Chains A and B, each alone.
Chain A
Amino acid sequence: DSGVTQTPKHLITATGQRVTLRCSPRSGDLSVYWYQQSLDQGLQFLIHYYNGEERAKGNILERFSAQQFPDLHSELNLSSLELGDSALYFCASSGGEQVFGQGTRLTVV
């Protein structure tokens, strides 16, 4: 158990819908990173939050957004979902090196 908790583990939804993925970082970690992992694109960095503030953006689509709350948990919102958004979404927290959660597998049908 890495100490990073992601919910839900699996999510199946239809095209055009909106979903929210949740991440609770390891106790004491202020940084949260979001990644997308798909078969064709590999591991892609999406966004980084540190203590509630956005620090860096990677290959995040405009249909996607994230936030980090005062209790340091983070949510990744994916809207107007397309078939190509089907992927594993990981969050990682960091107080030094990044520690990963088990991921949320999103299937868009």
Chain B
Amino acid sequence: AQSVTQLDSQVPVFEEAPVELRCNYSSSVSVYLFWYVQYPNQGLQLLLKYLSGSTLVKGINGFEAEFNKSQTSFHLRKPSVHISDTAEYFCAGVMDSNYQLIWGAGTKLIIKP
């Protein structure tokens, strides 16, 4: 069955430290993958997307993600986090011709001063 799994419900990290939010997918067909961010009391905003081509994708606010087909992963990284990065991050994928997004459960990024 097709699925998207975010392995951590919360990730605490110190300000200015690097962070990686993990996302794995399960699909027997080609995938499109997305990371969305939800700041407190706001809607979801697209951070970055992988459709095809280069496996390293750069997004807004200094985030990047790497598509790894052999590991079926699409982990999100940032080399140095800021307090303003406090938010919930959702990984999602399109894995069929209906173009329905399958969502991960979300990871709360907690920045410690």
Contacts and interface: CB of A to CB of B under 8 A. Distances in A.
Interface of A: 2, 4, 33, 42-43, 45, 48, 55-56, 90, 92, 94, 97-103
Interface stretch (B20-28, B61-69, B77-85, B96-104): B96-104
B2 interface: no
B46 A56 contact: no
A56 B98 contact: yes
A94 B94 CA distance: 13
Contacts of A97: 34, 46, 49
17 contacts: A33-B101, A42-B106, A43-B103, A43-B106, A45-B100, A45-B103, A55-B98, A56-B98, A56-B100, A90-B44, A94-B99, A97-B34, A98-B101, A100-B36, A100-B44, A100-B45, A103-B42
Centre residue among A2, A90, A97 by max chain B CB count within 10 A:
A97
Contacts of B34: 97
Contacts of B106: 42-43
Q: DSSP majority for the A interface?
A: strand
A2 B49 contact: no
B43 interface: yes
A90 B44 CA distance: 9
Contact of A45 (B42, B45, B101, B105): B101
Q: Looking at B42, B98, B101, B106, which has the most chain A CB atoms within 10 Å of its CB?
A: B101
Top 9 closest A-B pairs, CB basis? A100-B43, A100-B44, A102-B43, A103-B43, A42-B105, A43-B103, A56-B100, A101-B43, A97-B46
A43 B99 CA distance: 17
Interface in B40-95: 42-46, 49, 90
Given A56-B100, A98-B101, 20 more contacts: A2-B43, A2-B45, A4-B43, A33-B101, A42-B103, A42-B105, A43-B90, A43-B106, A45-B101, A45-B103, A48-B100, A90-B43, A90-B44, A92-B44, A97-B34, A97-B49, A100-B43, A100-B45, A101-B43, A103-B42
